[in-house]
Amino acid sequence: MSTLIDRYVFTALKSIPENQRSDIDRELRGSISDAVEARVDAGETPAAAETAVLTEFGDPARLAARYADRPLYLIGPDLFLDWWRLLKTLLIIVVPLAVVANLVIKLALDPADIGGAIGSAVGLGLGVVVHIAFWVTLAFYILQSTGTRRSELGLAPWTPEQLPQLPRRSQVSLADTVASVIMLGIFIAVLIWQHFGSALYLNGEPVPVLNDGLWSFWLPYVIVLLAVEIAFAVALYLRGYWTWGFAAANTVLGLLFMVPVLWLLATDQVYNWAFLAEANWDGANTGWINGITAAFVLFIGLWDIGDGFVKAWKAERQEAPREPATV
């Protein structure tokens, strides 16, 4: 069966429960094949027949809703998918940007209040989710209740050209990329905050948790490395899947972080032990704090390196789409 039909069936089956897919796959392919054969027998070319049949079948998401007995009720069948696609797009883009921007601004205004900054960012994120969901839904409800049709809004009708390509390899999702970027950004913010706005004070002065001498080279080095990690995450998302080259680059970045940090821990250069006295701990705690930190850094680093190679291996082994066959 042709790649175009494969793409249509793949798109339709994505939103159907796993236990129903095999039966619907056979039924849908059979219906499409019969319709295409009828048009070919009437004198149309196979390519033109496929396009015409898929256009008649319509948006695969709507077709999937009918097969799964899942009517599009909330907004109404005509505008439901447009509402859902716009809502998902806004949530994926706007919410992370609002959270990160709020966190950065709060930390810039009051570096000492990292807990308040995180709480404010989380609260803002939840508020943005509620507002986007409410206002987008309200707008589409008004459009639907007034009888406005998709064609009146200038929305183009669905065509087979809008079908996504079949995935050739395991894809890097936007959600994972956004989560990685946010976590790396928070890590950078914490490194800066612990120096300028530590929650620990000694004789009225803030006590940084990390050794202040690290600012001469190692902390700027780590911050720059984390910024490179953010660029790496974005580049990986744009590429779409892991390759051996990305796995090798990930290994280099991991080693550039792990080796210096483990050496600094082994030579007791990471922590500013004055904070132990402020926390009413004795110096005997220094050894196990360094040890636990080193074990954590080693475990996370090795796991991340291994995970990159596993994903590259899986991407290489994953089957490419089936070759087109004559209908």
Residue with tokens 């097969």: 67
State the pLDDT at residue 216.
86
Q: Could you tell me the CA-to-CA distances from 183 to 9, 61, 90, 179 in Å, in that order?
A: 37, 33, 21, 6
Q: Any idea what DSSP says for residue 201?
A: E
Share of the chain above pLDDT 90, in %: 12
Residue 320: is its pLDDT beyond 60?
no
Q: How many CB atoms lie within 10 A of CB 126?
A: 12
CA 186 – CA 177 distance, rounded (Å): 14
State the pLDDT at residue 120.
78
State which of 151-165, 179-193, 212-226 shows the largest mean pLDDT.
212-226
State the pLDDT at residue 318.
58
Q: Could you tell me the CA-to-CA distances from 238 to 213, 281, 311 in Å, in that order?
A: 38, 48, 16
State the pLDDT at residue 16.
73
More confident: 225 or 44: 225
**If you write DSSP's letter for every residue of 245-308 in order, what string do you get?**
HHHHHHHHHHHHHHHHHHHHHHTT-SB-THHHHHTT--TTHHHHHHHHHHHHHHHHHHHHHHHH
Q: Which of 200, 189, 199 is nearest to 223 (CA)?
A: 189
The pLDDT tens digits of the residues spanning 129-170 come to: 888 888 877 777 777 666 666 555 655 566 666 666 665 555
CA 193 – CA 199 distance, rounded (Å): 9
The pLDDT tens digits of the residues spanning 97-139 come to: 787 777 777 766 766 666 677 777 778 878 888 888 888 777 7
**If you write DSSP's letter for every residue of 155-174 in order, what string do you get?**
PPPP-GGGPPPPPSSPPPPH
Q: Which of 44, 39, 48, 54 is nearest to 6 (CA)?
A: 54
Q: Any idea what DSSP says for residue 8?
A: H
Residues 6+ apart with CB under 8 A from 38: none
State the pLDDT at residue 322.
40
Q: How does the average pLDDT of the chain come out, rounded?
A: 76
Please, where are the H alpha helices in the chain?
3-13, 18-41, 46-57, 60-67, 80-109, 114-145, 174-196, 218-239, 244-266, 274-278, 285-317
Burial class (CB in 10 A: 0-12, 13-18, 19+), 106: buried
Give the pLDDT band of residue 324 (cuts 50, 70, 90). Answer: very low
The pLDDT tens digits of the residues spanning 238-279 come to: 887 888 889 999 999 999 999 999 999 989 899 887 766 655
